[in-house]
Amino acid sequence: MPSESARFWAKVRRAGPDECWLWTAAAGTDGYGRLRVKRDGQWSHARAHRLSWELHRGAIPADLGVLHRCDNPRCVNPAHLFLGTDAENVSDKVAKNRQARGGGDGPQLPHGESHMLHKLTVSAVVAIRRQLEAGELPRGAIAVQFGVCKTTVNQIAQGKTWKHVAWSA
In contact, 43 and 55? CB cutoff 8 Å: no
Domain ranges (residues) in the chain: 4-95, 112-157
Percent of the chain topping pLDDT 90: 46
For 4-95, CATH gives: 3.90.75.20
* Half-sphere exposure for 110 (CA within 13 Å, toward CB): 6
Query: 74 φ, ψ to 5°?
Result: -90, -5
Amino acid 94: pLDDT? 77
Q: Is the pTM of this model over 0.85?
A: no
Helices (H), strands (E): how many in the chain? 6, 6
Is residue 25 predicted with pLDDT exceeding 70? yes
Amino acid 44: pLDDT? 87
Confidence label for 100 from pLDDT (cuts 50, 70 and 90): low
Decide which of 17 and 95 is more confident: 17
Amino acid 106: pLDDT? 53
| Per-state percent for the chain, helix, strand, coil, to nearest 5 | 35, 15, 50
Amino acid 161: pLDDT? 83
Residue-wise pLDDT for 33-72, tens only, equals 999 988 888 888 899 999 999 999 999 999 999 999 988 8
Decide which of 147 and 108 is more confident: 147
How far apart are the C-alpha atoms of 47 and 74, rounded to whole Å?
Answer: 9
